[in-house]
């Protein structure tokens, strides 16, 4: 054990294990998590070669091998709880998506949700037993978020009772679905349904794409891998071009909408039914942000405790880089953010489960709020985490660039969350739509409830940003609840400003749609402020439930740092709206420095509390024992370029060159 890191641990003021329980949601959960980790990490069948040293084809091969093993093991151990399966998988493929992800997370659930009983009989067990391996083919090379724009067609032929599927243009080729390129033999294809000359919009069809025995592509199917990406090396994201591919009528997903044998189209009873999955996935991404940020902070903070560099006082030994104020200012606010997002993740899970029960009882009332919240928080947490990973990486100096640090991979595997499952700007605008709608309801005197209820008050206050700047702010900057209020009022003001911008555009005779587009900057800003408020509020609420004094104290410091740092970073908003005064902004800067010093002795313990197994972290810089350099040297020696002392290029190019010059 590295002596620096040992000393750090001795200095902690709280019980790390107890904090881990809070983060996991109770000691039982911690215990079970560790059991699953032990199952995977001690299992020789999951031994893997370091993917950094493999070609893409070898990485894919290894991932398929481990996925196949995983399916066997899950049955062997009888692990069936979705949350436990999810965690088991995250240990088998630590930090890396896998070729079977879409089969497990999209193909099977879509069957469960949208297949008719007859279809369940035909498809579910074969898919469960991996005879059918499926993916979910929605996006096209020319079309993403906007479902109405998708071009793939499924035309019903009553003569043969078949659908004929086509990719009519280059831009309609299905593009991006994970596992489509090489792994899957079936795809759920989203296509515009045509029957009896009418288009009935987007529907889902089960399309066999590869021969069940030979795995060769079927006639009319052009399928393959879309090539290397930023990360996702293990996944065969694929393309699919359909050329008059015929499938039986019974392969349209028929639980809700139907096409009768004669071609008559039957509408689905409600459009809200598929809403829930989307909300669920986005909530999960919020949790993923928290976990990814926790990982990155663990690596950067442990390494900063071990690394010595330069000098603060001349003549003295090189200090730990954790002692530099600039390093603290880079990392500690991110650590506070990791805690904040963890609690927001817990909050989203709770709220999702609560509202799911309402929905199952036919009560859709709270769904719009949850939908807006999950969209905005997905965008807010992924954007913040995305930047934060890179700050962590760069805070590790040169070694942050080495793949042995794990930080480059953490970044490339995480950054797609900003785009998939709803592009972030689009997500922010969805949330804004809900906020503006709520604001208008309040304006009309309707009493709002739930998380947007603060918009009621803004109607009473009638904030005028220009006039308000001279108002005397009443905030107590050292009181977290008071800061929550300030964040709330900032959100209220920015929602109001966005709504007024739309109003002004309309007064200039712009159409509703142009007014919206011309206010989009303000709308995104308002959503961002709303989400920021929710995060600060949730953190504050969480503190109320923490009984352990030592833990309460350190979490309070983190929460205060999170809130104050946000004010500094967005001080223009707070000053502009008159919520905080200039002297207060200056006081906050001073307070932040004090909070950094206050946290300094606890930061290693605070990342230890995330309790991320070395095998999950997979980072030489972030090792629990802090023995960085010797292990980095050992890792480097295994680099494939070191297999031969003399690389063949010497004989081929460099040696012959001498005689030519």
| Catalytic center residues | 421
* 416 binds its own copies per the rule CB under 8 A: yes
Residue 10 Cβ, how far from its own copies at the closest point, in Å?
23
* 589 binds its own copies per the rule CB under 8 A: yes
Q: Based on CB atoms, which residue is closest to its own copies, 266 or 467?
A: 467
Bridging pattern class, strands 162-166 and 153-157: antiparallel
Site string for its own copies, 460-479 (x = CB under 8 A): -----xx--x----------
Phi, psi for residue 240 in degrees, rounded to 5: -150, 115
The binder of its own copies chosen from 426, 506, 543, 550 (CB under 8 A): 426
Residue 23 Cβ, how far from its own copies at the closest point, in Å?
29
Q: Can you name the residues that pair with 203 across neighbouring β-strands? A: 191
Phi, psi for residue 569 in degrees, rounded to 5: -65, -30
* 64 binds its own copies per the rule CB under 8 A: yes
Contact status, residue 347 vs residue 255, Cβ threshold 8 Å: no
Residues binding its own copies: number (CB under 8 A): 146
Binding range to its own copies, per CB under 8 A, among 231-239, 245-253, 436-444, 552-560: 231-239
Binding range to its own copies, per CB under 8 A, among 79-87, 302-310, 354-362, 373-381: 302-310
* 394 binds its own copies per the rule CB under 8 A: yes
Consult the annotation and say whether 139 binds a ligand: yes
Contact status, residue 99 vs residue 236, Cβ threshold 8 Å: yes
Contact status, residue 502 vs residue 520, Cβ threshold 8 Å: no
Nearest to 287 by CA among 356, 352, 342, 354: 342
Contact status, residue 525 vs residue 500, Cβ threshold 8 Å: no
Contact status, residue 289 vs residue 341, Cβ threshold 8 Å: yes
* 517 binds its own copies per the rule CB under 8 A: yes
* 95 binds its own copies per the rule CB under 8 A: no
Binding range to its own copies, per CB under 8 A, among 53-61, 268-276, 341-349, 436-444: 53-61
Q: Per CB under 8 A, which of residues 6..25 are in contact with its own copies?
A: none
User: Per the structure block, which two tokens stand in for 624?
Assistant: 């629990």
Task: Reduce the DSSP state of residue 375 to 3 states and report it.
Answer: helix
Site string for its own copies, 561-580 (x = CB under 8 A): -------x-xxxxxxx-x--
Q: What is the DSSP letter of 213?
A: T
The binder of its own copies chosen from 27, 35, 230, 354 (CB under 8 A): 230
* 364 binds its own copies per the rule CB under 8 A: no
Q: Can you name the residues that pair with 210 across neighbouring β-strands? A: 217
Residue 361 Cβ, how far from its own copies at the closest point, in Å?
34
The binder of its own copies chosen from 42, 198, 214, 271 (CB under 8 A): 214
The binder of its own copies chosen from 10, 521, 541, 614 (CB under 8 A): 521
User: Per the structure block, which two tokens stand in for 332?
Assistant: 């500690």
User: Per the structure block, which two tokens stand in for 317?
Assistant: 């030994």
The interaxial angle of helices 424-443 and 454-461, nearest 10 deg, is 60
The total of other beta-carbon atoms located within 10 Å of residue 327's CB is 19
Consult the annotation and say whether 549 binds a ligand: no
* 503 binds its own copies per the rule CB under 8 A: no
N residues, the chain: 661
The binder of its own copies chosen from 10, 35, 145, 482 (CB under 8 A): 145
- What is the per-residue DSSP string for 243-312? SSEEEEGGGB--SSSEE-TTS-EE--S-SGGGHHHHHHHHHHHHHHHHHHHHHHHHHHHHHHHH-B-S-S
The binder of its own copies chosen from 6, 109, 116, 142 (CB under 8 A): 142
Contact status, residue 452 vs residue 534, Cβ threshold 8 Å: no
The binder of its own copies chosen from 198, 310, 460, 507 (CB under 8 A): 310
Find all residues with CB under 8 Å of 50, minimum gap 6, and list them.
Answer: 635, 638
The binder of its own copies chosen from 110, 114, 183, 618 (CB under 8 A): 183
Q: Based on CB atoms, which residue is closest to its own copies, 179 or 276?
A: 179
* 79 binds its own copies per the rule CB under 8 A: no
Residue 389 Cβ, how far from its own copies at the closest point, in Å?
11
* 1 binds its own copies per the rule CB under 8 A: no
Site string for its own copies, 596-635 (x = CB under 8 A): ---------------------------------xx-xx-x
Q: Per CB under 8 A, which of residues 154..173 are in contact with its own copies?
A: 170-171, 173
* 43 binds its own copies per the rule CB under 8 A: no
CA 169 to chain centre: 32
The binder of its own copies chosen from 41, 275, 420, 624 (CB under 8 A): 420
Q: What is the DSSP letter of 394?
A: H
Q: Based on CB atoms, which residue is closest to its own copies, 361 or 466?
A: 466
Find all residues with CB under 8 Å of 144, minimum gap 6, and list them.
Answer: 423
* 60 binds its own copies per the rule CB under 8 A: yes
Q: Per CB under 8 A, which of residues 104..123 are in contact with its own copies?
A: none
Task: Reduce the DSSP state of residue 191 to 3 states and report it.
Answer: strand
Q: Based on CB atoms, which residue is closest to its own copies, 6 or 113?
A: 6
* 309 binds its own copies per the rule CB under 8 A: yes
CA 573 to chain centre: 27
* 80 binds its own copies per the rule CB under 8 A: no
Residue 660 Cβ, how far from its own copies at the closest point, in Å?
6
Measured CA to CA, the distance from residue 503 to residue 516 in angstroms comes to: 9
* 647 binds its own copies per the rule CB under 8 A: yes
Report in angstroms the alpha-carbon separations of 266 from 249, 262, 400.
14, 12, 57
Residue with token string 């009882």: 361
Residue 393 Cβ, how far from its own copies at the closest point, in Å?
8
- List the binding residues for FAD: 139, 178
- List the binding residues: 139, 178
């Amino acid at each position: 054990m590295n002596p620096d890191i040992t000393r750090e641990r001795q200095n902690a003021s709280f019980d790390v294990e107890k904090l881990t329980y809070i983060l996991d949601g109770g000691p039982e959960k911690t215990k079970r998590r560790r059991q699953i980790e032990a199952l995977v990490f001690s299992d020789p069948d999951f031994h893997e070669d370091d993917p950094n040293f493999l070609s893409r084809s070898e990485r894919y091969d290894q991932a398929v091998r481990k996925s196949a093993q995983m399916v066997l093991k899950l049955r062997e151990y009888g692990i069936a709880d979705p949350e436990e399966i999810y965690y088991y998988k995250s240990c088998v493929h630590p930090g890396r998506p896998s070729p079977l992800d879409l089969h497990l997370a999209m193909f099977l659930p879509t069957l469960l949700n949208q297949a008719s009983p007859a279809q369940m009989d035909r498809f579910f067990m074969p898919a469960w037993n991996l005879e059918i391996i499926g993916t979910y083919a929605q996006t096209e090379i020319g079309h993403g978020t906007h479902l109405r724009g998708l071009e793939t067609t499924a035309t019903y032929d009553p003569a043969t009772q078949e659908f004929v599927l086509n990719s009519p243009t280059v831009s309609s080729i299905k593009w991006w679905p994970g596992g489509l390129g090489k792994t899957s033999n079936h795809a759920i294809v989203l296509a515009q349904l045509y029957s009896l000359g009418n288009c009935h919009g987007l529907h889902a069809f089960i399309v066999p794409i590869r021969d069940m025995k030979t795995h060769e592509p079927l006639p009319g199917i052009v399928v393959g891998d879309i090539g290397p990406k930023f990360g996702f090396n293990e996944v065969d994201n694929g393309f699919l071009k359909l050329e008059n591919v015929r499938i039986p009528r019974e392969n349209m997903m028929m639980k809700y909408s139907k096409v009768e044998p004669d071609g008559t189209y039957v509408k689905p009873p409600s459009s809200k039914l598929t809403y829930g999955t989307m909300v669920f996935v986005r909530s999960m991404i919020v949790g993923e942000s928290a976990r990814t940020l926790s990982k990155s902070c663990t690596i950067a903070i442990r390494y900063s405790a071990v690394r010595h560099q330069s000098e603060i006082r001349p003549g003295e030994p090189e200090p730990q880089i954790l002692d530099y104020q600039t390093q603290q200012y880079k990392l500690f606010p991110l650590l506070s953010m990791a805690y904040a997002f963890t609690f927001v993740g817990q909050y989203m899970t709770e709220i999702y489960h609560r509202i799911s029960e309402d929905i199952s009882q036919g009560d859709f009332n709270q769904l719009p709020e949850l939908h807006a919240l999950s969209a905005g928080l997905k965008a807010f947490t992924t954007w913040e985490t995305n930047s934060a990973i890179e700050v962590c990486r760069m805070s590790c100096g040169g070694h942050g660039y080495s793949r042995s640090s794990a930080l480059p991979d953490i970044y490339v595997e995480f950054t797609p969350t900003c785009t998939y499952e709803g592009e972030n700007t689009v997500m922010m605008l969805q949330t804004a739509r809900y906020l503006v709608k709520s604001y208008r309801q309040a304006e009309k005197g309707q009493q709002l409830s739930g998380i947007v209820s603060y918009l009621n008050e803004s109607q009473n206050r009638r904030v005028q940003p220009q006039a308000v700047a001279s108002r005397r702010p009443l905030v107590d900057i050292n009181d977290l609840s008071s800061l929550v209020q300030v964040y709330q009022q900032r959100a209220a003001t920015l929602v109001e400003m966005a709504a007024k911008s739309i109003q002004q555009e309309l007064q200039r005779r712009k159409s509703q749609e142009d007014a919206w587009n011309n206010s989009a900057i303000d709308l995104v800003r308002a959503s961002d402020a709303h989400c920021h408020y929710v995060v600060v509020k949730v953190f504050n609420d969480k503190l109320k439930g923490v009984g352990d004094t030592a833990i309460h104290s350190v979490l309070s410091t983190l929460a205060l740092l999170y809130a104050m740092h946000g004010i500094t970073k967005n001080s223009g908003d707070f000053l502009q709206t008159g919520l905080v005064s200039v002297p207060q902004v200056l006081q906050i800067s001073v307070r932040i420095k004090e909070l950094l010093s206050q946290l300094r002795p606890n930061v290693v313990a605070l990342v230890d509390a995330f309790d991320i197994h070395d095998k999950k972290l997979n980072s030489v810089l972030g090792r629990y024992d802090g023995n960085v350099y010797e292990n980095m040297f050992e890792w480097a020696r295994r680099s494939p370029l070191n297999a031969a002392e003399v690389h063949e290029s010497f004989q081929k190019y460099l040696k012959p060159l001498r005689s030519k010059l």
